[in-house]
């Protein structure tokens, strides 16, 4: 034990940030927390000890933050999201605490390598892709901007599956990220809540003659909160990410137990815990699975109960709920919260319906993330009624009142009523979660300018006609802490030396780099850094695939979930076109490229899985053809996640953002690449449009159909086979595939991908092919001129600052949440008389 603790000193000596004290604290944790002599500590012991050392340095700020939030008048943001793809915590906390160098030195003094230790952390894969990652960037920005906020979600025991590639095919393995324990979470058993599910309702009149409803559930489940600290950059604010785990309300079902059925009694516990067992691995599609609806309701019900507890701790009545909380729905996954808050207010707190509705609408705001119809959530009515019988009644009451309003506003327009109804009456009846989210929220936002426009004109047009004032657009962003300062230390150092380090919390200051784009000396340093990053990535490629790639070649990178609309297969058609050129003319002048792909396919999404097989099949042929002479290399990097993203984005030369125009809501990968100095080849889709505007059309390779052109083609009748007939190179490419050239002569293997393409081509692959290939030619030409390329690369980074999630969060604060910063003063003693119960309500120490 350190002297400070033995002597009962205040916390500050024990948790000081100097190299020497960090070193001593680390050794203490190896001994006392891990129970090892330093000489016997394994890699995980070292990681755990360092994580605890850093956590100790967060706790004082965490407690100070909850004290500062208690009773303060600002609203608290409650960010509700079924996914938080936070990535590894340790490195990020070092950056945000400002002790990266001290810790590195402390480890070095013990003969340890900090990078090795950082690599030990299993990232919490509690999300599928962009949506979950956005929630994580937003949590970072909220803390950095000192906004009182709580993230609420689900503590999945198994996160997104681990992807292995075996014989060119995706194989899913379970992700047991908790198996070695999670040093970042604190279980708060005392704030456990009970959640009801299923059963039926009973209607009666109470002793005051009031009409009442009683919900008699079929089962109850306990929700136990696990809190993780989210530290802002160089501030005292530590917000809380509160994730709920389902447990049995009684570990033993005593009646059954007493009958002697011990295992039967325990099995109930197992069933309850299934609720938060696993993350559904579908990105941008929804399946009407009962367990998924239960998950959604479970975490929302827990979170709302938690907010009511915090409200009471602040001495405020439930009728002032909306003055205390601004609830943001990250897509419709938590939209059931609208019905749940109504139930809590009306059934449990006797608030009259109209007042409850006003409170609810003022509390909720909804972010739409997709225009894809298959991603809009709908629940079959019988399923919904089985899981949430009381909520169905409430929903129908909301609907009846809403439709009455519509009838008067849009006199005689019955088609509109059908479209706006919360219930889809076509065929089997469904509950429309999007409609519920729109009706119950005071603000609705899209995530990029184009997406918000299409949302108003298309998917949510009827709601826009009804309430134009509810609609707004807030373009997504990414945090420059994780995605530049942490993931690209070499470039960050160079940038800091050139313009100082204010950009880390004020990314628009990156603009100061602009003049340096014309400074040959600076460009030289820039290129050297980027080359080092490419060497690092080449090493990762070698470790995970055994392949050797040339860091002098252009790193042409497409990493993101595998989707038809994202069009990974278009990128492969280009590779085949280049290959074909080499085969026709072995000395063709081709700029050497390494094509890197990464991304998971949903396990049940056959089309996406076949796309992976297509990529790996083409890779097999191209990589071993001696005539290619290593001018083309195709790599599929397995298991793309935040951890490997941090090594990929900084090493890319070219960023592939090639979705069909009108399909990608925003994209955030595009922003991470640009911030790290990669140039973009992209369609005019999602936030690519704003990215191109910011970086300058001269520094952006755009191609392909625009949204109006896609619309026009659809209306005039699009003939994909005409594109095929009219373009010799495309014909050659398609014929190779359909002759089985990439499938050992099996001419049918990729039929699912390309027969459909030739007939209907719903994602306009063939229509965009020529423009894409031509644009790639321009990218190659630019790459052959290093001065020109590096200049564009510097400008890309310099002009990417607007895409910081800090800017996005400021817009949410001003336009939707109406919240302001609440700076946190560090409490200098962890002492003081124990206060009771709710004092540490937001987070922090034991009462």
Ligand X SMILES: *Cc1c(COP(=O)(O)O)cnc(C)c1O
Q: What are the residues binding ligand X (CB under 6 A)?
A: 129-130, 133, 560, 640-642, 645, 667-669, 672
Q: Which of 55, 242, 343, 369 is catalytic?
A: 369
State the minimum distance, in angstroms, from the CB of residue 56 to ligand X: 29
| Cα distance between residue 104 and residue 613, in whole Å | 41
Residue carrying the six token digits 């890197």: 596
Q: Which of 133, 566, 574, 593 is catalytic?
A: 566
Please identify, using beta-carbon distances, which residue of 242 and 482 lies nearer to ligand X.
482
CA angle 86, 90, 96 (to 5 degrees): 85
Please identify, using beta-carbon distances, which residue of 423 and 642 lies nearer to ligand X.
642
| Cα distance between residue 71 and residue 312, in whole Å | 11
| Cα distance between residue 843 and residue 776, in whole Å | 52
- Catalytic site residue 369? yes
Please identify, using beta-carbon distances, which residue of 303 and 641 lies nearer to ligand X.
641
Q: Which residues contact 267 (CB under 8 A, 6 or more apart)?
A: none
Quick one: residue 313, left, alpha or beta (phi over 0 = left, psi -120 to 50 = alpha)? alpha
**785 exposure class (CB count in 10 Å sphere: 0-12, 13-18, 19+):** exposed
Q: Which of 89, 672, 799, 842 is catalytic?
A: 672
**Cα(first)–Cα(last) distance of the chain, in Å?**
24
Q: Which residues contact 781 (CB under 8 A, 6 or more apart)?
A: none
Residue carrying the six token digits 């965009």: 768
Contact 473, 445 (CB under 8 A): yes
- Beta strands, E only, 105-185: 149-154, 162-166, 169-173
State the minimum distance, in angstroms, from the CB of residue 568 to ligand X: 11
State the minimum distance, in angstroms, from the CB of residue 498 to ligand X: 26
State the minimum distance, in angstroms, from the CB of residue 109 to ligand X: 33
- Catalytic site residue 429? no
Please identify, using beta-carbon distances, which residue of 133 and 162 lies nearer to ligand X.
133
Please identify, using beta-carbon distances, which residue of 428 and 693 lies nearer to ligand X.
693
Q: Provide the b/e sequence for 196-229 (b: ≥16 CB within 10 Å).
A: bbbbeeeeeeeeeeeeeeebebeeebbbbbbbbb
Contact 104, 98 (CB under 8 A): no
Paired with 195 in beta bridges are 221
Angle in degrees, 0-180, between the axes of helices 751-759 and 765-783, rounded to the nearest 10:
110
| Cα distance between residue 832 and residue 812, in whole Å | 37
Structural tokens at position 481: 């802490």
| Cα distance between residue 415 and residue 694, in whole Å | 42
Residue carrying the six token digits 């150092």: 493
State the minimum distance, in angstroms, from the CB of residue 131 to ligand X: 8
CA angle 498, 499, 503 (to 5 degrees): 130
Name the residue whose CB lies closest to ligand X. 669
Q: Which of 89, 560, 749, 799 is catalytic?
A: 560
What is the dihedral sign for C-alpha 573, 574, 580, 583?
A: negative
State the minimum distance, in angstroms, from the CB of residue 642 to ligand X: 5
- Catalytic site residue 668? yes
Structural tokens at position 528: 């050297």
**Paired sense of beta strands 186-187 and 219-231, if any:** antiparallel
* Other beta carbons less than 10 A from residue 18's beta carbon: 12
State the minimum distance, in angstroms, from the CB of residue 489 to ligand X: 18
State the minimum distance, in angstroms, from the CB of residue 362 to ligand X: 32
Q: Where are the alpha helices (DSSP H) in 410-519?
A: 414-420, 433-440, 449-457, 461-466, 480, 489-499
- DSSP assignment of 507-547 equals GGGGGGGGGGGG-HHHHHHHHHHHHHHHHHHHHHHHHHH--
**Paired sense of beta strands 200-205 and 211-216, if any:** antiparallel
Please identify, using beta-carbon distances, which residue of 127 and 440 lies nearer to ligand X.
127
Q: Which of 155, 432, 561, 692 is catalytic?
A: 561
CA angle 73, 77, 83 (to 5 degrees): 165
Please identify, using beta-carbon distances, which residue of 222 and 687 lies nearer to ligand X.
687
- Catalytic site residue 461? no
State the minimum distance, in angstroms, from the CB of residue 641 to ligand X: 5
Please identify, using beta-carbon distances, which residue of 99 and 661 lies nearer to ligand X.
661
State the minimum distance, in angstroms, from the CB of residue 673 to ligand X: 8
| Cα distance between residue 224 and residue 847, in whole Å | 18
Q: Which residues contact 591 (CB under 8 A, 6 or more apart)?
A: 554, 780, 783, 784
Please identify, using beta-carbon distances, which residue of 391 and 560 lies nearer to ligand X.
560
State the minimum distance, in angstroms, from the CB of residue 544 to ligand X: 15
- Catalytic site residue 566? yes
| Cα distance between residue 680 and residue 761, in whole Å | 25
CA angle 70, 76, 82 (to 5 degrees): 125
State the minimum distance, in angstroms, from the CB of residue 99 to ligand X: 25
Structural tokens at position 827: 């409490």
Question: Which candidate, 236, 301, 242, 187, places its Cα nearest to that of 69?
Answer: 236
Q: Which residues contact 624 (CB under 8 A, 6 or more apart)?
A: none
Please identify, using beta-carbon distances, which residue of 129 and 389 lies nearer to ligand X.
129
* Other beta carbons less than 10 A from residue 105's beta carbon: 16
Please identify, using beta-carbon distances, which residue of 163 and 790 lies nearer to ligand X.
163
Paired with 194 in beta bridges are 222
Structural tokens at position 254: 């005593």
Please identify, using beta-carbon distances, which residue of 163 and 328 lies nearer to ligand X.
163
- Catalytic site residue 561? yes
State the minimum distance, in angstroms, from the CB of residue 828 to ligand X: 38
Q: Which of 53, 668, 680, 683 is catalytic?
A: 668
Please identify, using beta-carbon distances, which residue of 88 and 440 lies nearer to ligand X.
88
Which residues have a catalytic role annotated? 369, 560-561, 566, 668, 672
């Amino acid at each position: 034990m350190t002297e400070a603790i033995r002597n009962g000193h205040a916390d500050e000596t024990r948790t000081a940030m100097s190299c020497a004290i960090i070193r001593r604290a680390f050794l203490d944790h190896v001994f006392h927390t891990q129970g090892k002599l330093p000489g016997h500590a394994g890699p995980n012991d070292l990681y755990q000890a360092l994580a605890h050392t850093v956590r100790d340095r967060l706790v004082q700020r965490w407690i100070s933050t909850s004290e500062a939030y208690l009773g303060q008048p600002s609203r608290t943001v409650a960010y509700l999201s079924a996914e938080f793809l936070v990535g590894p915590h340790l490195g990020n906390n070092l950056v945000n605490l400002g002790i990266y160098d001290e810790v590195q030195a402390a480890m070095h003094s013990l003969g340890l390598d900090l990078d090795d230790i950082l690599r030990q952390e299993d990232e919490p894969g509690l999300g599928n892709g962009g949506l979950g990652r956005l929630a994580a960037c937003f949590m970072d920005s909220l803390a950095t901007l000192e906004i009182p906020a709580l993230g609420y979600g689900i503590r999945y025991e198994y996160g997104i599956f681990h992807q292995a590639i075996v014989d060119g095919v995706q194989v899913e393995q379970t992700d047991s990220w908790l198996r070695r324990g999670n040093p970042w979470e604190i279980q708060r058993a005392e704030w456990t809540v009970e959640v009801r599910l299923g059963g039926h309702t009973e209607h009666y009149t109470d002793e005051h003659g009031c009409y009442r409803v009683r919900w008699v559930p079929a089962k109850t489940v306990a929700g136990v909160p696990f809190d993780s600290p989210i530290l802002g950059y160089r501030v005292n604010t530590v917000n809380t990410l509160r994730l709920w785990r389902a447990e049995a309300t009684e570990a033993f079902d005593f009646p059954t137990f007493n009958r002697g059925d011990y295992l039967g009694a325990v099995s109930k516990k197992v069933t309850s815990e299934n609720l938060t067992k696993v993350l559904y691995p579908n990105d941008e599609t929804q399946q009407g699975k009962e367990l998924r609806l239960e998950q959604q309701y479970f975490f929302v019900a827990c979170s709302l109960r938690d907010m009511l507890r915090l409200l009471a701790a602040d001495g405020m009545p439930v009728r002032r709920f909306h003055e205390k909380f601004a609830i943001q729905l990250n897509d419709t996954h938590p939209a059931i919260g609208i019905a749940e808050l109504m139930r809590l207010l009306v059934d449990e707190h006797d608030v009259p319906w109209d007042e409850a509705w006003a409170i609810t609408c003022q509390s909720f705001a909804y972010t739409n993330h997709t225009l894809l119809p298959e991603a809009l959530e709908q629940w079959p009515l019988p399923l919904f009624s089985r899981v949430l019988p009381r909520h169905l009644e409430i929903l129908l009451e909301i609907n009846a009142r809403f439709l009455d309003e519509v009838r008067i506003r849009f006199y005689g327009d019955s088609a509109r009523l059908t479209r706006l109804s919360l219930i889809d009456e076509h065929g089997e009846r469904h509950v429309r979660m999007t409609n519920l989210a729109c009706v119950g929220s005071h603000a609705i936002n899209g995530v990029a300018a184009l997406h918000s426009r299409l949302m108003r004109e298309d998917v949510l047009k009827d709601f826009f006609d009804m309430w134009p004032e509810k609609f707004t657009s807030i373009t997504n962003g990414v945090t420059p802490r994780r995605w530049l300062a942490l993931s690209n230390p070499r470039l960050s150092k160079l940038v800091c030396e050139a313009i100082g380090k204010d950009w880390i919390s004020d990314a628009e200051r990156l603009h100061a780099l602009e003049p340096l784009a014309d400074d040959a000396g600076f460009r030289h340093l820039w290129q050297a850094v980027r080359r080092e990053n490419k060497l690092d990535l080449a090493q990762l490629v070698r470790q995970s695939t055994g392949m050797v790639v040339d860091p002098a070649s252009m790193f042409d990178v497409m990493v993101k979930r595998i989707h038809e609309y994202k069009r990974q297969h278009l990128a492969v058609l280009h590779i085949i076109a280049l290959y074909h050129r080499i085969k026709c003319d072995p000395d063709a002048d081709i700029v050497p490229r390494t094509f890197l792909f990464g991304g998971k396919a949903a396990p049940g999404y056959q089309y996406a899985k076949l796309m992976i097989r297509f990529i790996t099949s083409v890779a097999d042929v191209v990589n071993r053809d001696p005539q290619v002479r290593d001018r083309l290399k195709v790599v599929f990097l397995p298991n793309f996640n935040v951890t490997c993203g941090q090594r990929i984005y900084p090493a890319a030369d070219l960023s592939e953002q090639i979705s069909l125009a009108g399909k990608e809501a925003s994209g955030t990968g595009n922003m991470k690449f640009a911030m790290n100095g990669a140039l973009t080849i992209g369609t005019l889709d999602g936030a690519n449009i704003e990215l191109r505007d910011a970086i300058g059309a001269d520094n952006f390779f755009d191609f392909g159909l625009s949204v109006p052109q896609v619309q026009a083609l659809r209306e005039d009748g699009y003939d994909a086979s005409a594109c095929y007939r009219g373009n010799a190179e495309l014909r050659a490419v398609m014929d190779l595939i359909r002759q089985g050239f990439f499938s050992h002569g099996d001419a049918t293997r990729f039929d699912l991908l390309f027969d459909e393409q030739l007939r209907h081509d719903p994602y306009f692959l063939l229509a965009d092919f020529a423009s894409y290939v031509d644009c790639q030619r321009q990218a190659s030409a630019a790459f052959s001129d290093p001065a020109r390329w590096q200049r564009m690369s510097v400008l890309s980074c310099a002009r990417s600052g607007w895409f910081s999630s800090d800017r996005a969060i400021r817009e949410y604060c001003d336009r939707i949440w109406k919240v302001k910063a609440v700076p946190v003063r560090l409490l200098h003693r962890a002492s003081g008389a124990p206060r009771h119960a709710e004092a540490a309500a937001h987070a922090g120490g034991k009462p």
